[in-house]
Amino acid sequence: MTSPDMMREVIREVVRDVIREVIAEEMAAVAATQGATPRPASAPRAAPVTSAAPQSGDGVIVARGALTERHVRSAGDAKTITIGGKVVITPLARERARTMGIEIIRVSLEG
């Protein structure tokens, strides 16, 4: 039988996966309504439990809030991180992306 802490971690991981999928779908829908070509949404890759970054097939997507070092670390072998127009990039995230060779791409989905 599993301990309560292990069960909480499993539940958190499932919730994060669902959130990743929903955000990716919403960003694709907004981009489609504004004439941009959205990235194809795919099932998120396995990520560490600490990751809160939504992921698509070739990179990480952060729609709002802040891009943190945790997001960059969770990118794994991704080459790009796509962020929304109002996302704030923390200094540690910028430095980690630079050292890992990850490009941060800002897209504006507002009208």
pLDDT at residue 102 tops 80: yes
The residue assigned the tokens 């897209």 is 107
CB count, 10 Å around CB of 78? 20
pLDDT per position as a tens digit, 20-58: 877 877 777 777 776 655 455 444 443 333 333 444 456
Do residues 35 and 42 make contact, with C-beta atoms less than 8 angstroms apart?
no
Strand order across the 80-84 sheet: 59-62, 80-84, 103-107
pTM given for the model: 0.48
Averaged pLDDT, 73-97: 90
- CA count, 13 A, side-chain hemisphere, 12: 12
Q: Strand, helix or coil at 110? A: coil
Q: DSSP label at 41? A: P
